[in-house]
Chains A and B, each alone.
Chain A
Amino acid sequence: MSRQMTGAEMVIAALQDQGVEVLFGYPGGSVLPIYDAIFKQEKIRHVLVRHEQGAVHAAEGYARSTGKVGAVLVTSGPGATNAVTGLTDALMDSIPLVCITGQVPTHLIGQDAFQECDTVGITRPCTKHNWLVKRIEDLPRILHEAFLVAKSGRPGPVVIDIPKDVQFATGTYVGPKNIQHKTYRPKIKGDMDAIRKAVEMIGKAHRPIFYTGGGVINSGPAASQLLRELVKATGYPITSTLMGLGAYPAKDDQFLGMLGMHGTLEANMAMHESDLIICVGARFDDRITGRLDAFAPHAKKIHIDIDPSSINKIIKVDCAIVGDVAHVLEDMLRVWKQTQPEIDKKALKAWWGKIEAWKARKCLAYKGSDEIIKPQYAIQRLYEMTKKHDTYITTEVGQHQMWAAQFFKFDEPNRWMTSGGLGTMGYGIPAAVGVQMAHPKSLVIDIAGEASVLMTMQEMSTAVQYRLPIKIFILNNHYMGMVRQWQELLHGGRYSESYSEALPDFVKLAEAFGGVGIRCDKPSELDAAIQQMIDCPKPVIFDCIVDPAENCFPMIPSGKAHNEMLFGDAVEDIGSVIDEKGKMLV
Chain B
Amino acid sequence: MNTSHYPSQHIFQTPETHTLSVIVDNEPGVLARVVGLFSGRGYNIESLTVSETEHEAHLSRITIVTTGTPMVIEQIKNQLARLVPVHRVVDLTVTGRVLARELALIKVKGKGEARVEALRLADAFRARVVDANTESFVFELTGKSDKIDEFVGLMGPLGLVEYSRTGVAAISRGPDAM
Q: Which residues of A contact B (CB under 8 A)?
A: 120-121, 124-125, 128-130, 132, 149, 181-184, 286, 289-293, 295, 307-309, 311-316, 559, 584-586
Contact = CB atoms under 8 A, between A and B. Distances in A.
A124 B33 contact: yes
A67 B84 CA distance: 22
Nearest to A153: B82
A316 to B, nearest CB: 6
B32 interface: yes
Majority-rule SS of A interface residues: loop
Interface of B: 4-11, 25, 28-29, 32-33, 36, 40, 71, 74-75, 78-79, 81-87
A26 B75 CA distance: 38
B9 A183 contact: no
21 contacts: A120-B29, A121-B32, A124-B29, A124-B36, A125-B36, A129-B83, A183-B84, A183-B87, A286-B4, A292-B6, A292-B8, A293-B7, A293-B9, A307-B82, A309-B79, A309-B82, A312-B71, A312-B74, A313-B75, A313-B78, A585-B6
Nearest to A154: B82
A181 B85 CA distance: 9
Given A124-B36, A311-B78, A184 B84 contact: yes
B23 to A, nearest CB: 9
B6 A125 contact: no
Contacts of A128: 84
Given A292-B9, A309-B82, A316-B9, A182 B25 contact: yes
Given A124-B29, A124-B36, A586 B5 contact: yes
Instruction: Indicate the member of A183, A307, A559 with the most B CB atoms within 10 Å.
Output: A183
Nearest to A293: B7
Given A124-B33, A183-B25, A286-B4, A293 B10 contact: yes
Contacts of A121: 29, 32
B40 A125 contact: yes
Contacts of B75: 309, 312-313
A289 B8 CA distance: 11
Given A291-B6, A308-B81, A312-B71, 9 more contacts: A120-B29, A124-B32, A129-B83, A183-B25, A183-B86, A291-B7, A293-B7, A308-B82, A316-B11
B166 to A, nearest CB: 26
B5 to A, nearest CB: 5
Contacts of B71: 312, 316
Q: Enumerate the 4 nearest inter-chain pairs by beta-carbon distance, A residue then B residue, closest first.
A: A309-B78, A129-B84, A308-B78, A293-B7
